[in-house]
């Protein structure tokens, strides 16, 4: 059975993007081993880096061949060669950095912010306004959209091979590495982990109108937290439903039992079905995600396209690439701050639904 399996699995780039000099704020794992590795692969031009810990910034600069280590954010913003700022810091510190860039970044044309953009819809909306008023294009690093299987599922939906979506599910059985800064947040799993899947459902299906949610404590996470294991259901205006099961416990795997770790997703439509796996839990092993799909328009057959790229690190070419392409062509990236407000609203609604044990309408958050 013939079918075009040349699916849109990786963001297309084009020559000339190296004209934009990138300054990096932050020198942690995600910057060191994902952002900077992906940027080098793509040929993006990183001109310098700064961090609250200068020695760490210097170590990362040496490791990744970055020419300049800035003393601080003000030093970075004084460099006229920095036209794009890539932020990779904890979420509680990001808003102040964005405001400072908007105030003092005379040469800055774009910001790639980490997700979550902010820890509340109100503050995220303020940051979007601040960047808009400063003439800065704001994009948010919702990198799961650039996981190769997730992008391919979006392409299949766009081509109509699944028909009208009926049900989508993401079943995560994986153990995140909670960073020390997460102890200080009012939300753990919802704003840090579930945000990936909630944004993914928006990417595939559009915007839901309400959410039901329940959360339980993660026995492995010893510091106080209100949201650990997250279960949620999204209702869409066309009748479609989506469900996420974000199990950060997955059994006593680290305590001596056998494990069953992985992330599986599935999208069912009136004309077909797609299913996949996410390779991220195997990191640092380079494990591509997978996709299988079937459609009644192409016979009784499972199609299984494959690729060599993985979410970590190649997907990070896509998030920065989107921003650079938008700057080059004077357009808005699909991961714009404006679009991300809808993701933050959904995340906040999910957190509230679990906290108050009730159905939450998205309109309650957005007004």
Give tens-digit pLDDT for 50-82.
999 999 999 999 999 999 999 999 999 999 999
Whether the predicted pLDDT of 25 surpasses 70: yes
Whether the predicted pLDDT of 176 surpasses 90: yes
- Supply the pTM of this predicted model: 0.97
Structure confidence at residue 297 (pLDDT)? 84
Average pLDDT over residues 298-319: 95
Whether the predicted pLDDT of 1 surpasses 80: no
Residue showing tokens 């000099």: 21
Structure confidence at residue 252 (pLDDT)? 96
- In this structure, the number of other CB atoms found within 10 A of the CB of residue 71 comes to 11
Structure confidence at residue 75 (pLDDT)? 98
Structure confidence at residue 290 (pLDDT)? 98
Average pLDDT over residues 194-221: 98
Nearest to 118 by CA among 53, 215, 187: 187
Instruction: Map out the domains of the chain with their CATH numbers.
Output: 17-143+317-334 (3.40.50.720), 145-311+344-366 (3.30.360.10)
CA dist., res. 115 & res. 229, Å (int): 20
Question: pLDDT band at residue 298, thresholds of 50, 70 and 90?
Answer: confident
Residues 6+ apart with CB under 8 A from 48: 23, 24, 61, 66, 67, 68, 69, 70, 76, 79, 82
User: Reduced to 3 DSSP states, what percent helix, strand and coil does the chain have, rounded to the nearest 5?
Assistant: 40, 20, 40
Question: pLDDT band at residue 85, thresholds of 50, 70 and 90?
Answer: very high
pLDDT tens-digit profile of 321-343? 999 999 999 999 999 999 999 99
Structure confidence at residue 54 (pLDDT)? 95
Question: pLDDT band at residue 200, thresholds of 50, 70 and 90?
Answer: very high
CA dist., res. 108 & res. 134, Å (int): 9
């Amino acid at each position: 059975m013939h079918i075009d399996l040349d699916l849109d699995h990786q963001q297309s780039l084009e020559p000339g993007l190296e004209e934009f000099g990138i300054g990096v704020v932050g020198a942690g794992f995600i910057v060191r081993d994902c952002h900077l590795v992906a940027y080098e692969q793509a040929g993006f031009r990183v001109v310098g880096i700064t961090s609250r810990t200068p020695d760490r910034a210097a170590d990362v600069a040496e490791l990744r061949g970055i020419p300049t280590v800035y003393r601080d954010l003000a030093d970075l913003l004084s460099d006229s060669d920095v036209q794009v700022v890539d932020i990779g810091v904890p979420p509680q510190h990001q808003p102040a950095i964005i405001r400072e860039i908007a105030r003092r970044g005379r040469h800055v044309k774009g910001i790639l912010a980490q997700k979550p953009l902010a820890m509340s819809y109100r503050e995220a909306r303020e940051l979007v306004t601040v960047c808009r008023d400063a003439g800065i294009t704001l994009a948010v690093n919702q990198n799961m959209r650039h996981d190769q299987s997730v992008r391919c599922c979006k392409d299949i939906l766009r081509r109509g091979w699944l028909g009208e979506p009926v049900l989508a599910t993401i079943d995560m059985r994986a153990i995140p590495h909670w960073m020390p800064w997460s102890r200080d947040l009012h939300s753990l799993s919802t704003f840090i982990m579930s945000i990936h899947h909630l944004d993914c459902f928006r990417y595939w299906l559009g915007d839901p109108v309400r959410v039901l949610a329940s959360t339980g404590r993660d026995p492995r996470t010893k510091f106080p937290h209100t949201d650990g294991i997250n279960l949620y259901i999204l209702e869409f205006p066309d009748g479609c439903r989506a469900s996420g099961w974000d199990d950060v416990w997955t059994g006593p795997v680290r305590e001596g039992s056998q494990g069953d770790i992985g992330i599986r997703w599935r999208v069912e439509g009136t004309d077909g079905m797609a299913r996949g796996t996410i390779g991220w839990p195997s990191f640092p092993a380079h494990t591509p995600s997978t996709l299988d799909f079937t459609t009644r328009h192409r016979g009784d057959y499972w199609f299984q396209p494959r690729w060599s790229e993985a979410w970590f690190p190649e997907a990070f070419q896509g998030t920065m690439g989107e921003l650079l392409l938008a700057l080059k062509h004077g357009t808005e990236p699909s991961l714009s701050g404006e679009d991300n407000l809808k993701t933050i609203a959904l995340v906040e609604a999910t957190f509230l639904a679990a906290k108050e044990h009730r159905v939450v309408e998205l309109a309650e958050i957005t007004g």
